Every structure is written in structure tokens, then in C-alpha cells.
A and B are shown apart, each in its own frame.
Chain A
């Protein structure tokens, strides 16, 4: 079914609609960060931790599609392959297929499926965040941002706006000498962030204080603490009800993006069949009219021809 989702097959949507009521129980964790910081190794260690607590874990690992060939090597799985025969672990590699942020609606839809399948934790791994439309912040309940010491990632994070969306900041390869500096830098910058959130939420108890943790993913140092911190974030959100808010927000974002996609598809299809369109194309090709006037004309002539039906909740 995940293939159908990836291929934008309409039958996938039908199935998704059926599954939707059953989804929503899973705790979705986003792990993002620049290439080479050790996300896959970290996730591999996290899987081990969550399995120790007898949780079912799913991972969606997203890798960039080559802009030249349209192909991709999906290799995050390599670092997690020892879990390949664990019945309670599901690892799915996905290619970004041209989506800028690296994620696509397919990722969300896949998460829905996995959630409906009963996975307790869904980890989404991606590169880069806070930049594009379909972002990790649209998908995950809790976001971990991974960096390594000495790369100035902290400053980069501020620039990219990542600081706003991260819940847990992870300094990996923390056996490196400048690890402490990185941690301090991050803490400092996070302190500067707090006033923003305060303004948004009058109820202080809804604010999760972002944590900064040190790990050495390769040998598992700090991973138990990390797993516990994620779980405590989840608990935190459940206890103060912010999880509900979050879920509603995620649904809203998903809805908006779906509208965009579906509307665009439908409209384009309609337009391309219309005479207006063909006429306009001719005018452009013969040079008798400029593209701006033509486009405005075509779109202005659109009319809704179908009588709207009420949205029924039962199916």
C-alpha cells in the first residue's frame, strides 16, 4: 500500500480514508540534521532502546532524490539493518522525489498507515528542516535536531529557523573535544528563544523546555536518556493536553496541503481542457498577446459549475 501512496495512485486514498480513524495513536518523532551527523546510527540505537521497552517501532528514512536522474540510493537503512528480522520493527526507505524539504505528502500518508498498523513509535528521519513546505514540523509530535561539535551547526540552526521547531537538541559524537562548547552555545541560543514562545502561549505549563543532550550514537552513550526524554515529552504533551492541540494543528496543516494538491490537480485538468486555454496558447505562440494577460484571462473565466454538497461525517 505504501507503494500506491508513493505513486499517487488514487486507490491509495480510498484505503487511507478507511485507515484514518485507526491512526493517531502512534508517537511520531522527527529526527533531522545535516548529512553526516549520525542520524541513522542514532536511530539504530534508539530502536534498540524502544524495543527494550517492548514497543513496536517504525522508521521512515527519507533520502534525497538525485535532481539529475530522478533516482536515489536509499542507504539510511544500512545503519539499522541489524533490526531487519525483528518482527516489531519496520523500516521504510523513501526518496524525497523532488520535494524540497525532503518530505512529501507520501511521508505523512505512510505514517498514517504505520500508525494504523499499530506501531507505538514512528521515527521519521530527514535532512534539513524549517525550509520547505512539507516540513518535519508538519508531521512529528516531537522533533529532535542532531548536530555534531565543531561544525557551527548551532549558528546554522538559528539561520535556518530550526531553533524554533526543535524540541530536543542532540549533540552527537560528543566525545569530541568541543562538545561542551556546542552544548553551551545551543543552550544560550535556546534561552534567547524562550521569550517568543512565552508570547504565544499565555499558559506557561504548555511550554516544553527544549532540552540539549549529548550522545555518542556509535557506542550508545546517552541514547537511553534520549529515548526517555522523547517519551517524557510525549507524556508531557498528553498530560497538559497540548498533544490534542498539536494533533489538531497537524491535521489542519495536512488538510491545507491536501486542498492545495487536489485543487491544483483538478483545476489544471479543467483548464487544460478548456477552449480558453487553447486559445490563449495560440495567442502566445503567435506573439499576439503576452503571457500575463493570457493567464489572467483564463483564470478569471473559471466558474464553479457544480452545486456544492454538504460534507457528511458518516461513511
Chain B
């Protein structure tokens, strides 16, 4: 995925290069290209750390601080997760990243029939505040922030995080939580949605409003172009759709009378990096610039810091192959190089075996070393935005901007993101592209080393070019005990909590959901009363209904 289309002649010379985003690349670039594009340093680049931030958000970038790397955790029971948390903090990590199991993500308790086979498998199983108390026991929540990979029920998890902090004696303005909370991308590319589009957006709006007023250290939304790209979007679309999604959320909150200035600074992004190296670099530079311009010109944001496109550039799962998996080690290195040349502040890398298994400690370490090497050994910290001024990169960045704006315009003309997603227009486009690309891969039109025949002939007798060894997929062992434990805990909980309080708090929640009150304070009350995730999400299900997904073809 993500590779350019190369049209070659009979002798193998490249005649045409077409990037996934649709940009054609010339054999050579020179000053005339920059002139033709109307490029000026002040308008298009700005100094590092100056608007429009094309080069970098900070004047010194990696010179002052190397990039941060992230590691996900959370699986099985809250007890095991708590141990893992403590271990990571002891190892110097100053932020937690929490994964939740599918039932929790989908608003079901561990004893729901649909939860079977899923409790604790891809993340932590959370049924109630009790589980959070176990998971975060002994964690200094005033110093350690938590990223929560949760979307459809992000409001519930945020409320529960506040409740657990309060239970442990912290106040809500001390804690820092970063829920992913990007429901629109779920509907395009990740599938963990529950409610219809407008209600999903309302909940995001509620959480942002609440964060502005009550959770000053929290970052309520992480806009994920990542998954949209994974499901078939081009790099230009990845940025365009993420920005249009951001607008949908911003507009919802602005309607409540809150100024964009007060909250956009706390949005963060999650972008993908795989495929063609130059296309990625141009993409990120263009994205930084466009985000700043959009906020300034369309939303009147003045404070420089709030114009930053903060985010994680990394991952790259779709670029990896199951065949000849060691190739993924090199791929990871190149992708990381792309991220570094783009000035990513935070990054993460899929490990080489991630195409077929949960990363082993060894492969996770290799990824870490890959990232370290760029910072500490190979020289990516030496200077800010080293490719600036390159005839090619600057022309490409400008062309990428145009492409992104084109894609955004298309969405606007079709009535905006909410409309497009409700009608399936984006999903259709993205599926079709994924299909076309896969066909191209299978026919050899797109090249993937180790997958299609390679360009360089290897005549040594023991070469394996042309052969594909496939490594077998390894899966997490599913642990039945986790489900048993969770179910037992649920029974105990329901017997010992004050069910009258639960009922009342749920009723109040329902009223808020039906009306236009912000649901967050009601959720916090429900959490304190030990209402379960299933019960709270159930109120939303009853009030909002479930989304009927549209056709994708």
C-alpha cells in the first residue's frame, strides 16, 4: 500500500511516476519550479517555529529535544494492567497509553452475549469504576497522564477517569486524560461505532465542552487520519478528511458559544507513515501549514501555540507484509526516517512482526532502537527541517497542499463530513480505492519488495528472490479466566452497590441525553454510583439508537 505507480518502458526505465495522492513527479526539479509555483520563504515556509510552521512547530525542534516514543499497554484484567503500568513508570515512562477490550469499546459489559470470546483480549476489560480503581491504584494521577484508546464511549471513560481520580483524592483540574474520541474516523475506517452520526458528534462536543470548563489539563480529541489511511485513503485524503472531521467537531462546539481559541489548541493528531518517502514528508509539512492557516483564517485563532498541529506521525502497519517479514525491519527504518525528516514530535513504529502477531519483546525493542538510531546516531537531530529549500520537496509540498485543499473542497461541496459519512460517500470512495490498490498489488502494477518479482536480479545460487516465505500468524491466547473473573466481579458489584442510586443516576443521564444538557456531569455521577459501562451505554443506545451503516459500493 502507499507506493507510487511506476510506468516503465521495455528496458525498465521509469517513464512516469504517479503518487497515490495523484501528484506526478518529474525526473528533475530546479529553481524554475519554485518560481513557477510562486514559492516564497515567508509565505510558504516561515522560519522554524514561526507561522505557518511548515518547517517546524518549534525553532529548535530535535536540537532541544528528541522525539517521544509511545508504547501501548492494557490487556486482560485491571490487575495485570496495573502491574504493567507500574513497571513502565518505574522504567521512566511519564505517560500511560491504555487499550480497552472490544466489549468495553462497544459499550457492553463482560457478561453480554456479544462479549463472548472478547473479554480482555485486545485490551483491558472495564465494566465499572471498580475496575478503574484496580487499574489505576497507586498511580500518581496528578503527574502521570493517560491516553485512552476509546471512541464511541469516550465520554463514559473520561467521566470514569475523573471519578477514579476523585476517589483517590485528586481534583479534576489536576488530572490529564487524552481520549482518542474521534467517532467520525471510526465510521470511516475502524468500525468501533455505536450511535448514529449526529449523536456521536454531539457526544464529542459534550466532551470537548466539558474539558474546556472542567478538565483543563486534558486533551479531549485525537484526530486520527491514521485509520482512514489504513482503510484506503490517499495521503492527501488522510489529511483532508482529518481536517474536515476536525471542523465538524469544532463547529459543534462553537455552536455552544465557546470560542475555538479556547479548545483547538488541545486537539492532537494521529497520522500514518508508510509508502513513498517523499510523499509522506510533503504531506506532513503541508499539513502543519494548512492546519495553522485554517485555524487562523477560518476560526480566528490568534495565539501562536494554539495553531500547532501536534501529533503522532508513525505506525505504518499497512506498509508491512507477512511475506519475508524481515523486510519490515528495513521498511520500519525508512518510515521512521520519513517521520524524522518531517519533524514528527511523537512517533511510534509497528514492529516487523506486527503483520501477523502481537509484537514480541524482541521486535518491540528493534522498533525502539530504530527510532533511537535516527535521533542519536545517524544525525536526524542535527538541524531543523533539513530538506527545506530543496527544489523537489518544496514544489512537492506546495502540490500536496493543493491536493489536500482539493479533497477538502470536495467534502465541503458534498455537504460536509457529517453528511458524507451518513450517506456513505467517504466509505465508498475509500473502499473503492482500497480495492483498486489491492488489485494493482496482485497484478504487479504496484511493487512491493518480497511480494512481486524484484527489479534487481540476484544471480547467486542461494537467493530467495521470487520466493515468498510466509511466517505463520501468531495470536494472543485467549484467557477464559479473565472473562470468568470479570463476570464474577460484575455479580458481586451489582449485589453490593446501592442500586437505588444507580437507577436515579441513570435516569438523570437519560434525561440529559434526551435533551441538550451536557452528559458529562451526569456520567460522572453514574460512575460514582458504580453504574456499569453497559448500563450507561445502554441509556445512550435506548435514546440515540444504533447507527445503520450505509452502502459502501
The answer to whether A and B touch directly, with their CB atoms under 8 angstroms apart, is yes
**A residues adjacent to B (C-beta < 8 A):** 36, 40-41, 44, 73, 75-76, 78-82, 218-219
7 A-B pairs, CB-CB below 8 angstroms? A40-B551, A44-B548, A73-B551, A75-B551, A75-B553, A79-B550, A218-B196
Contact partners of A80 in chain B: CB under 8 A:
548
The reply on B546 being an interface residue by CB < 8 A is: yes
Contact partners of A82 in chain B: CB under 8 A:
546, 548
Question: Are B553 and A79 neighbours in the complex by a CB distance under 8 Å?
Answer: no
Q: By DSSP majority rule, is chain A's interface helix, strand, loop, or mixed?
A: helix
Q: How far is the CA of A124 from the CA of B422 in the complex (A)?
A: 24
Q: How far is the CA of A268 from the CA of B195 in the complex (A)?
A: 56
Q: How far is the CA of A41 from the CA of B423 in the complex (A)?
A: 11
Since A41-B548, A82-B546, A219-B196 are in contact, a sample of 8 more A-B pairs with Cβ atoms closer than 8 Å, ordered by chain A residue number, is A36-B423, A73-B553, A76-B551, A79-B551, A80-B548, A81-B548, A82-B548, A218-B422
Identify the closest chain A residue to B545 (Cβ).
A219
Q: By DSSP majority rule, is chain B's interface helix, strand, loop, or mixed?
A: loop
Identify the closest chain A residue to B547 (Cβ).
A218
Q: How far is the CA of A41 from the CA of B549 in the complex (A)?
A: 10
Identify the closest chain A residue to B425 (Cβ).
A36
Contact partners of B552 in chain A: CB under 8 A:
75
Q: How far is the CA of A60 from the CA of B54 in the complex (A)?
A: 55
Q: How far is the CA of A81 from the CA of B550 in the complex (A)?
A: 11
> Could you mark each residue 535-553 of chain B with 1 if its beta carbon is under 8 Å from any beta carbon of chain A, else 0?
0000000000010111111
Q: How far is the CA of A87 from the CA of B193 in the complex (A)?
A: 27
Question: Are A78 and B422 neighbours in the complex by a CB distance under 8 Å?
Answer: no
Question: Are A79 and B423 neighbours in the complex by a CB distance under 8 Å?
Answer: no
Contact partners of B553 in chain A: CB under 8 A:
73, 75
Identify the closest chain B residue to A41 (Cβ).
B548
Task: Report B235 CB to chain A, min CB distance, Å.
Answer: 27
Contact partners of A81 in chain B: CB under 8 A:
548
Q: How far is the CA of A219 from the CA of B544 in the complex (A)?
A: 9
Q: Which 4 A-B pairs have the closest CB atoms?
A: A75-B551, A73-B553, A79-B548, A78-B549
Return the contact of A78 from the options B196, B423, B546, B551 (Cβ within 8 A): B551
Contact partners of B546 in chain A: CB under 8 A:
82
Q: How far is the CA of A185 from the CA of B53 in the complex (A)?
A: 52
Identify the closest chain A residue to B553 (Cβ).
A73
Q: How far is the CA of A40 from the CA of B196 in the complex (A)?
A: 16
Contact partners of B423 in chain A: CB under 8 A:
36
Contact partners of A79 in chain B: CB under 8 A:
548-551
Contact partners of B550 in chain A: CB under 8 A:
78-79
Task: Report B413 CB to chain A, min CB distance, Å.
Answer: 13
Identify the closest chain B residue to A45 (Cβ).
B548
Identify the closest chain B residue to A63 (Cβ).
B551
B513-553: which residues lie under 8 A (CB-CB) from chain A? 546, 548-553
Task: Report A81 CB to chain B, min CB distance, Å.
Answer: 7
Task: Report B291 CB to chain A, min CB distance, Å.
Answer: 30
Q: How far is the CA of A185 from the CA of B539 in the complex (A)?
A: 41
Contact partners of A73 in chain B: CB under 8 A:
551, 553
Q: How far is the CA of A41 from the CA of B196 in the complex (A)?
A: 13
Task: Report B513 CB to chain A, min CB distance, Å.
Answer: 14
Task: Report A306 CB to chain B, min CB distance, Å.
Answer: 49
Task: Report B198 CB to chain A, min CB distance, Å.
Answer: 8
Task: Report B222 CB to chain A, min CB distance, Å.
Answer: 28
B362-416: which residues lie under 8 A (CB-CB) from chain A? none
Contact partners of A40 in chain B: CB under 8 A:
551
Contact partners of A75 in chain B: CB under 8 A:
551-553
Contact partners of B549 in chain A: CB under 8 A:
78-79
> Could you mark each residue 61-90 of chain B with 1 if its beta carbon is under 8 Å from any beta carbon of chain A, else 0?
000000000000000000000000000000
Task: Report A223 CB to chain B, min CB distance, Å.
Answer: 13
Identify the closest chain A residue to B551 (Cβ).
A75
Identify the closest chain B residue to A217 (Cβ).
B548
Q: How far is the CA of A91 from the CA of B1 in the complex (A)?
A: 37
Q: How far is the CA of A80 from the CA of B551 in the complex (A)?
A: 11
> Could you mark each residue 420-459 of chain B with 1 if its beta carbon is under 8 Å from any beta carbon of chain A, else 0?
0011000000000000000000000000000000000000
Q: How far is the CA of A28 from the CA of B526 in the complex (A)?
A: 48
Q: How far is the CA of A81 from the CA of B546 in the complex (A)?
A: 11
Contact partners of B422 in chain A: CB under 8 A:
218
Identify the closest chain A residue to B196 (Cβ).
A218
Q: How far is the CA of A82 from the CA of B551 in the complex (A)?
A: 15
Q: How far is the CA of A76 from the CA of B550 in the complex (A)?
A: 8
Q: How far is the CA of A219 from the CA of B423 in the complex (A)?
A: 14
Contact partners of A76 in chain B: CB under 8 A:
551
Task: Report B260 CB to chain A, min CB distance, Å.
Answer: 25
Contact partners of B548 in chain A: CB under 8 A:
41, 44, 78-82
Task: Report B516 CB to chain A, min CB distance, Å.
Answer: 15
Identify the closest chain A residue to B549 (Cβ).
A78
Q: How far is the CA of A75 from the CA of B548 in the complex (A)?
A: 12
Q: How far is the CA of A36 from the CA of B550 in the complex (A)?
A: 10
Task: Report B412 CB to chain A, min CB distance, Å.
Answer: 16
Q: How far is the CA of A69 from the CA of B553 in the complex (A)?
A: 15
Q: How far is the CA of A44 from the CA of B550 in the complex (A)?
A: 12
Q: How far is the CA of A312 from the CA of B480 in the complex (A)?
A: 69
Q: How far is the CA of A76 from the CA of B410 in the complex (A)?
A: 26
Q: How far is the CA of A219 from the CA of B546 in the complex (A)?
A: 11
Task: Report B74 CB to chain A, min CB distance, Å.
Answer: 31
Contact partners of B196 in chain A: CB under 8 A:
218-219
Q: How far is the CA of A44 from the CA of B549 in the complex (A)?
A: 12
Task: Report A175 CB to chain B, min CB distance, Å.
Answer: 10
Contact partners of B551 in chain A: CB under 8 A:
40, 73, 75-76, 78-79
Contact partners of A219 in chain B: CB under 8 A:
196
Q: How far is the CA of A36 from the CA of B425 in the complex (A)?
A: 10
Q: How far is the CA of A273 from the CA of B196 in the complex (A)?
A: 61
Task: Report B439 CB to chain A, min CB distance, Å.
Answer: 13
Q: How far is the CA of A149 from the CA of B551 in the complex (A)?
A: 21
Q: How far is the CA of A41 from the CA of B547 in the complex (A)?
A: 11
* Residue picked from B196, B422, B550, most chain A C-beta under 10 Å: B550
B238-295: which residues lie under 8 A (CB-CB) from chain A? none
Identify the closest chain A residue to B544 (Cβ).
A219
Identify the closest chain B residue to A44 (Cβ).
B548
Q: How far is the CA of A82 from the CA of B423 in the complex (A)?
A: 18
Q: How far is the CA of A82 from the CA of B553 in the complex (A)?
A: 20
Q: How far is the CA of A75 from the CA of B549 in the complex (A)?
A: 10
Q: How far is the CA of A315 from the CA of B306 in the complex (A)?
A: 83
Identify the closest chain B residue to A77 (Cβ).
B551
* Residue picked from A40, A78, A82, most chain B C-beta under 10 Å: A78
Q: How far is the CA of A81 from the CA of B547 in the complex (A)?
A: 11
Q: How far is the CA of A75 from the CA of B550 in the complex (A)?
A: 8
Q: How far is the CA of A239 from the CA of B474 in the complex (A)?
A: 68
> Could you mark each residue 203-246 of chain B with 1 if its beta carbon is under 8 Å from any beta carbon of chain A, else 0?
00000000000000000000000000000000000000000000
Q: How far is the CA of A36 from the CA of B428 in the complex (A)?
A: 12
Contact partners of A44 in chain B: CB under 8 A:
548
Task: Report A172 CB to chain B, min CB distance, Å.
Answer: 12
> Could you mark each residue 278-318 of chain B with 1 if its beta carbon is under 8 Å from any beta carbon of chain A, else 0?
00000000000000000000000000000000000000000
Q: How far is the CA of A100 from the CA of B550 in the complex (A)?
A: 25
B128-186: which residues lie under 8 A (CB-CB) from chain A? none
Q: How far is the CA of A124 from the CA of B58 in the complex (A)?
A: 61
Task: Report A226 CB to chain B, min CB distance, Å.
Answer: 18
Contact partners of A41 in chain B: CB under 8 A:
548
* Residue picked from B422, B423, B546, B548, most chain A C-beta under 10 Å: B548
Q: How far is the CA of A79 from the CA of B552 in the complex (A)?
A: 12
Q: How far is the CA of A179 from the CA of B20 in the complex (A)?
A: 39
Task: Report B112 CB to chain A, min CB distance, Å.
Answer: 16
* Residue picked from B196, B546, B550, B551, most chain A C-beta under 10 Å: B551
